[in-house]
Amino acid sequence: MNWQARVARIFGVAEGEARPVLTGATLFFVMFAGYFMLRPVRETMGVAGGVDNLQWLFTGTFLATLAAMPLFGWIATKVPRRRILPWTFGFFAVNLALFALSFQADPENLWVARTFYIWISVFNLIAISVIWSVCVDLFPSAQAKRLFALMAAGASLGGLVGPLLGIALVGLIGHAGLLWLASALLVLGIAIARHLQRWRDTQPVHDELTATARARPLGGHPFAGITTVLKSPYLLGISLFVLLLASVSTFLYFEQARLVELKFPNREDQTRVFGTIDVIVQSLTILSQLFITGRLVQRLGLAALLVAVPVVTMLGFVWLAFAPTFAVLAVVMVVRRFGEYAFVRPGREMLFTVVPTEAKYKAKNFIDSVVYRGADAVSGWAKTLVDMLAQHPAIAALIGACIALVWAVTGASLARAQSRIAGKESMPEGFDIAGEGLKR
C-alpha cells in the first residue's frame, strides 16, 4: 500500500485526494508557522503600549485594512486567478524584509513596534483569506465538506510549531531573524500553491474550474468586493456572522490583556503565557481537525460547525461573569479559539463554496479583512465604553454572552441557506446564487 492509499484509508478521503489534501495542508502549515512565530511578540508589544490604548491599535488596524483593500482589489482584477496568491504573498514577503531591516537598525523604536503590530494584523487576515480563496476555488462543495478540515489541520500544526520555533530561535537570531525566516516561508508558500494549481489542471473539467478560466483575470473593478456583498443577502449574512465572531473575540482579547497585565507584569512572562495558550489551542485543534471535524459535518451537517462554538462561548461568558479570574478566562479563551480554528473556520469557508468565482476572491477577502477588522475596531471602543460606564467586568461578560447568542442564531440560518443553495447548483439557468437570501 503506497503513502497516498494509507492517508486515504486513515482519514477517509477518496482515491486520488491524498495529494491535494497534503499539499493544501502544507500550504497552510508554512503560512501559519511564519505567522505564529511572530504572534507572541505582537501580543507583548500590544500590552507594552498600554492595555488602555488597545482600541487605538485596533482602529489603526482597521484603517490600514481599508487602505490595503483597493490594492488587493486591483491585484484580483488585473492578475489571473492562479497568480493572485503569488502576487499577494510576494508583496507581504517584501514587507517582512523591510520590517526586519528596521528592527535591525533600531530594535527599541516604539513606533516601528506599533506599526508592526498593525501591519501583522492586516497581513494575517488577508494572507489567510487568500489561501482559503484558492481552496474554495479549486474544490467544489462536496469535496470541501470532506477535505477542508484535514487541510486546515496544516494551519493548526503550523500554529503549534510556530511558537516553538520562535521560543527556540529568538535568542539566536533575534526578532529581525524571525521576520527574515517568516518571509522565506511565504516564498515557499508560493511554490506550494503552484503545485496545488498544477494538480487541479490534471483533473477532469468541473463546471468553470478549468485551467483556461483560472488563467484569466477576474476583471471588474478594485471595489467589486464591497458592491458584491451589498447586493447579496447571503453574503451580508456571512458578514454579520464574521462581525459577531470578531466582536466576541475582541471582548475576550481585551479581558485577556487586562488580566495578563495584572498577573504577569514581566514582558518575558507575558510572551510565555501567550505562547503557552497558542500551543494548547493548536494541539487541541489538530486532533479535532484530523479525527472529528470532517466526520462531524458529514453526520450532523454544516450547522454543527457554525452553532456549537457560539453556544459554548455564550456559556463561557456567563461563567466569566460570575468568576472573573485569569484561570477562567484562560479556559474560555482556549475553548473559543480552539473551537474557531477546528470548527467555525472550516465551516465558514464551506459557505463560500456555493458563491460565484469573483465573490470567492473579492467579496470573501473584503469580509475576511475589512468587515473583521471593522468589527474589531467598533467592538474595541464598545468594550472600552462598557468598562468605563459599568466599572465591573461582569457587565461586559454578560453583553458578550448576548452577542454570542445572536452569533449562534446567525450560524444556524447560514447553514440552512448554504444547504439550499448547494441543492440548486445544478440549476445554472437564471439562478442567482449571490442573490440568495437567508431563510427567515
pLDDT at 315 over 70: yes
Mind listing the pLDDT tens digit for each residue in 359-395?
Answer: 887 888 889 888 988 888 888 888 888 878 877 778 8
Domain count, the chain: 1
For residue 283, tell me if it sits in a domain: yes
191-214 burial, b at 16+ Cβ within 10 Å, e below that, comes to ebbeebbeebeeeeeeeebeeebb
Which grid cell is 27?
A: 500550504
The residue among 356, 338, 422, 382 whose CA lies nearest residue 156 is 338
Domain that holds residue 324: 13-435
Q: What's the length of the chain?
A: 440
Max distance between CA atoms of the chain, in angstroms, equals: 65
For residue 1, tell me if it sits in a domain: no
For residue 18, tell me if it sits in a domain: yes
* Residue 429 exposed, middle or buried by CB count within 10 Å (0-12, 13-18, 19+): exposed
For residue 440, tell me if it sits in a domain: no
Mind listing the pLDDT tens digit for each residue in 238-281?
Answer: 999 999 999 999 889 888 888 887 888 776 677 677 778 877 88
Residue with cell 473539467: 205
User: The whole model's pTM is what?
Assistant: 0.71
User: Strand, coil or helix: what is 217?
Assistant: strand
Determine the Cα–Cα distance for residues 48 and 261; give it in Å rounded to an integer: 9
Mind listing the pLDDT tens digit for each residue in 51-110?
Answer: 566 677 778 888 888 887 777 777 777 777 778 889 899 999 999 999 989 888 887 777
pLDDT at 426 over 50: no
Q: Band of the pLDDT at 210, cuts 50, 70, 90?
A: low
pLDDT at 437 over 70: no
Q: How many CB atoms lie within 10 A of CB 425?
A: 15
For residue 6, tell me if it sits in a domain: no
For residue 112, tell me if it sits in a domain: yes
pLDDT at 30 over 90: yes
The most confident of 97-111, 191-205, 312-326, by mean pLDDT: 312-326
Q: What average pLDDT does the segment 13-35 reach? A: 84
For residue 2, tell me if it sits in a domain: no
The residues pairing with 217 across neighbouring beta strands, listed in sequence order, are: 80
pLDDT at 222 over 70: no
Pair 161, 37: CB distance under 8 Å: no
Q: What's the CATH code of the domain at 194? A: 1.20.1250.20
Mind listing the pLDDT tens digit for each residue in 81-93?
Answer: 778 889 899 999 9
pLDDT at 283 over 90: no
Pair 308, 164: CB distance under 8 Å: no
Position 200 scores a pLDDT of: 74
Q: Band of the pLDDT at 187, cuts 50, 70, 90?
A: very high
pLDDT at 316 over 90: yes
Determine the Cα–Cα distance for residues 309 and 302; give it in Å rounded to an integer: 12
Phi and psi angles of residue 208, each rounded to the nearest 5 degrees, phi first: -90, 0
User: What residue type is 407 in one-letter code?
Assistant: W
- List C-alpha distances in Å: 197 to 47, 93, 131, 137: 41, 21, 12, 10
Which grid cell is 331?
A: 479556559
Kindly give, in sequence order, each residue whose CB lies less than 8 Å from that of residue 412, ignoring residues fewer than 6 positions away: 303, 306, 307
Mind listing the pLDDT tens digit for each residue in 150-172?
Answer: 787 788 788 888 888 887 887 78
